[in-house]
Amino acid sequence: MKRYILSMIVCLASLTAFIGIHPTSLCTLYQPEVPEELLK
């Protein structure tokens, strides 16, 4: 069970890194300030 949860976390993190920061921020109500380094 622990391995399944960790694999889901890794999958979501890699998907966020692949898509980018803006689509993940647009679909949520909480929109944090995005540093310029992440927008490149």
Q: Where are the domains of the chain?
A: 1-40
Q: Does position 18 have pLDDT exceeding 70, yes or no?
A: yes
> Binning pLDDT at 50, 70 and 90, where does residue 11 land?
confident
pLDDT in tens, 19-40: 766 665 555 555 566 667 766 6
Instruction: Provide the 8-state DSSP code for 36.
Output: T
Return d(Cα 15, Cα 8) in angstroms, integer: 10
Instruction: Calculate the alpha carbon distances from 10 to 17, 33, 35, 39 in Å.
Output: 10, 23, 22, 21
